[in-house]
Structure 1
Amino acid sequence: MIDDTSYTPEEVAALLKISKLKVYDLLKKGEIPAYRVGKQMRIESSDLDAYKQRSKGISAVSPNVTNTVASAQPLYGSANSQRERSIIITGQDVSLDILARHLERQLPGMRPLRSYVGSMDSLVSMYRGESDIVSTHLLDGDTGQYNTPYIRKLFVGQSYVVVNMLRRSAGLYVKKGNPLKLESWADLSQSGIRLANREKGSGARVLLDEQLRLHGIPSTQLSGYEGEENSHLAVAGKVAAGEADVGVGIEKAALLVGNVDFVPLIQEQYDLVMLKRDDNRIWIEGVIAILRSDSFRSELVNMEGYDISRTGDIVYEA
């Protein structure tokens, strides 16, 4: 009996006990065949087993998966893999999904894949060669600069370009009416505050940690500091539900969740990083052209909370 079980990249990561980014890297290199059903990527159980056998040094033949599902479009492990070049885009902002759509339409042969991870993990994934376009919004409290201090330390001796994606308002999610009168970072020193926090390495977590450090507020003073939520929406949702008094994030999430007030405290810079290599240069130029295009900007201009006045500007180049 033929095993027709298939998995998502996330399920494969759990089965192999590796990161999702490592799975995307294996897909990108064609080591594990995959196909697309609509917008969802799937990996056949037989192809996963074949990869495991090859990893053990045992020869295995992987079946052709292109006809497994009638509506499936071949992604990797087929003749098309010679013509397509996958581009892994990391980050969680919806603007990256819009960018992926434009890339697929305007750059023939480019297959954008999305990986939803935080800023620091995104940079590390690029350092390891597991991603192509990474988004980041990491504040350096000592200089007041976003992103470049971290990028320059991590990519010493490498060629890269940093391009502005957008700017967006960041600050505090508070209960409706702001009963604790939390209006500044310093107000987090109040005793008994319950915090909904983000995961380590996320831009919001770095922003909070830098502000606590600059204002001399011990993290242990905030109840819930050790907890971790994986998105702005999750943090805003906990505040809206009364499970926390405050959280750090972007304005857009507050607008989407509702029943929560937003206290703007900083205009954060959301940038894209791309390594300059011989096989990357053509599509890097294409990405920058898309960011500067009227069609792309028109999709962002009406979205609340975004400042696109510098979208497509080169922030730093090495």
Structure 2
Amino acid sequence: MTNQNESSNRVRNLREAKGLTQTELAERAGISRSAVTAIEGAKLAPSVATALSLAAVLGCSVEELFGSPESPKATASWAWEPPTNSNRCWHAEVFGKVLKLPAAVTPMWSALPDDVDAGSQKASIVADETLVLATCDPAAGILASQFHAATGMRMIVIPRSSGQSLELLKHGVVHLAGLHLATAEHPEGNADAVRTGLGNDYNLIRLSNWQEGISLPAGSAHRSVRSVLGARLKWIGREEGSGARQCLDQLLHGRRAPRCVARNHMGVATAIQSGWADAGVCVQLVSAEAGLRFLPVQQEAYDVCYAKSFRGDRRLTAFINVVRSVAYRSLLSDLPGYDTADAGRISNVN
């Protein structure tokens, strides 16, 4: 079997012989530039699909490029510390690294954990066919199902708030980060958060504009935001950095933040349903599904952020095509509070 360093050098030598940069090879092969860098540095064993693409671009067979069809074992590391001693995980190639993503006990709109060895060829194939999105979007399951139906690849959804999603993207353990910090009063909210936390080398793609507001028990006597704010109610809070927390802080005008904090939109609805809280901020879809009263406060731009270095990767190209598809936009626009008129629009953080 060909040594991985030898095959990696062969990729680099053939690329240079054809006068291609890493970026050009990545674009033609439909992978990210960071993946090319990792393969040439013997840090990533390519999947069968990637090997075939590289061989086609470089004008040789897979065997000539990588030697034996049996690829060397790829090392996989944890994206973050798993909450328990469980080895349940999803495998994903993210920016040239094969990562193990801890599988939640109650996964959010995602596939079952992988039943493969981290160093196996099957794990490498699965990793190369996986797109990872961190988001708080309660409708992310629709996007994941549409992505799989259109491409045969899978999308793993990691439940995180806007600020937490950007942190995962900053540390290079997810491909995409969802955020909803932009409003009519602050239309650059999403771009500003990306510039401050990550820098300028990122793009935003609009998925929708959605309604954020106050959720109340179904039988509440309050019919307006002003009425709610004038009453002595027990609020359920959200963590700093989340879009809901930003909206809540604006509503409470400097009052002390609620002591009890929900981890996500659904946690807000559950607290109100259970009688633990009288009011909270969440998106309209979650409030409607919980059978609660909803008072709209503001429309927010829900964008997904990705690194410019990820452009050209076939998973991102497929993702953009799905977001722009009539099927996805139609499904999303049927949900309470979602407006997909701008879905698929890409903006430069610069």
TM over 0.5: yes
2:49 alignment counterpart = none
1:219 alignment counterpart = 256
With over 3 angstroms needed to count, the CA separation of the structure-2 counterparts of 1:192 and 1:276, relative to structure 1, is same
- Cα deviation for residue 204 of structure 1 reads 0.7
Residues 1:77 and 2:77 are matched in the alignment: no
- Cα deviation for residue 118 of structure 1 reads 0.9
Report the Cα distance in structure 2 between the residues aligned to 1:10 and 1:317, rounded to whole angstroms.
Answer: 26
Are the counterparts in 1 of residues 91 and 101 from structure 2 also a CA contact under 8 Å? no
Residues 1:96 and 2:140 are matched in the alignment: yes
1:118 alignment counterpart = 161
Are the counterparts in 1 of residues 210 and 302 from structure 2 also a CA contact under 8 Å? yes
- Cα deviation for residue 75 of structure 1 reads 7.8
Are the counterparts in 2 of residues 165 and 271 from structure 1 also a CA contact under 8 Å? yes
Are the counterparts in 1 of residues 180 and 243 from structure 2 also a CA contact under 8 Å? yes
- Cα deviation for residue 282 of structure 1 reads 3.8
2:236 alignment counterpart = 196
- Cα deviation for residue 24 of structure 1 reads 6.5
Are the counterparts in 2 of residues 141 and 210 from structure 1 also a CA contact under 8 Å? no
With over 3 angstroms needed to count, the CA separation of the structure-2 counterparts of 1:77 and 1:95, relative to structure 1, is farther
1:248 alignment counterpart = 281
User: Of 117, 135, 138, which aligns to 2:181?
Assistant: 138
- Cα deviation for residue 272 of structure 1 reads 0.6
Report the Cα distance in structure 1 between the residues aligned to 2:211 and 2:309, rounded to whole angstroms.
Answer: 33
The secondary structure found in structure 2 opposite 1:120 is helix
* Percentage of pairs with the same residue: 22
Residues 1:296 and 2:336 are matched in the alignment: no
With over 3 angstroms needed to count, the CA separation of the structure-2 counterparts of 1:140 and 1:296, relative to structure 1, is closer
Are the counterparts in 2 of residues 229 and 235 from structure 1 also a CA contact under 8 Å? yes
1:149 alignment counterpart = 192
The secondary structure found in structure 1 opposite 2:315 is helix
Write the letter of the residue equivalent to 1:303.
L
1:265 alignment counterpart = 297
With over 3 angstroms needed to count, the CA separation of the structure-2 counterparts of 1:150 and 1:238, relative to structure 1, is same
Report the Cα distance in structure 1 between the residues aligned to 2:124 and 2:278, rounded to whole angstroms.
Answer: 53
1:6 alignment counterpart = none
- Cα deviation for residue 39 of structure 1 reads 2.7
- Cα deviation for residue 139 of structure 1 reads 4.2
The secondary structure found in structure 1 opposite 2:330 is helix
Write the letter of the residue equivalent to 2:245.
R
Structure 2: segments with no counterpart, 5+ residues: 1-77, 104-109
Write the letter of the residue equivalent to 2:274.
A
- Cα deviation for residue 147 of structure 1 reads 1.1
Write the letter of the residue equivalent to 2:237.
N
User: Of 318, 330, 334, which aligns to 1:286?
Assistant: 318
1:231 alignment counterpart = 264
Are the counterparts in 1 of residues 180 and 190 from structure 2 also a CA contact under 8 Å? yes
Structure 1: segments with no counterpart, 5+ residues: 1-8, 43-71
Residues 1:170 and 2:215 are matched in the alignment: no
- Cα deviation for residue 180 of structure 1 reads 4.6
- Cα deviation for residue 111 of structure 1 reads 4.0
With over 3 angstroms needed to count, the CA separation of the structure-2 counterparts of 1:291 and 1:279, relative to structure 1, is closer
Report the Cα distance in structure 2 between the residues aligned to 1:192 and 1:294, rounded to whole angstroms.
Answer: 45
Q: Which runs of 4+ in 1 moved over 6 A?
A: 9-12, 23-27
- Cα deviation for residue 229 of structure 1 reads 1.0
Residues 1:87 and 2:159 are matched in the alignment: no
- Cα deviation for residue 237 of structure 1 reads 2.8
With over 3 angstroms needed to count, the CA separation of the structure-2 counterparts of 1:294 and 1:12, relative to structure 1, is same
CA RMSD, Structure 1 to Structure 2 (Å):
3.5
- Cα deviation for residue 233 of structure 1 reads 2.3
CA deviations 1:139-188 (Å, max 9, x no partner) are: 47973544111112122242x2101111111111123353355524x953
Are the counterparts in 2 of residues 27 and 33 from structure 1 also a CA contact under 8 Å? no
The secondary structure found in structure 2 opposite 1:262 is strand
1:128 alignment counterpart = 171
Report the Cα distance in structure 2 between the residues aligned to 1:278 and 1:133, rounded to whole angstroms.
Answer: 10
- When the two structures are aligned, how many residues end up with a matched partner? 262
- Cα deviation for residue 197 of structure 1 reads 1.4
- Cα deviation for residue 128 of structure 1 reads 0.9
User: Of 85, 91, 113, which aligns to 1:41?
Assistant: 113
1:66 alignment counterpart = none
TM-score if structure 2 supplies the norm length? 0.64
Write the letter of the residue equivalent to 1:249.
C
Are the counterparts in 1 of residues 205 and 347 from structure 2 also a CA contact under 8 Å? yes
Residues 1:310 and 2:321 are matched in the alignment: no
Report the Cα distance in structure 1 between the residues aligned to 2:231 and 2:172, rounded to whole angstroms.
Answer: 44
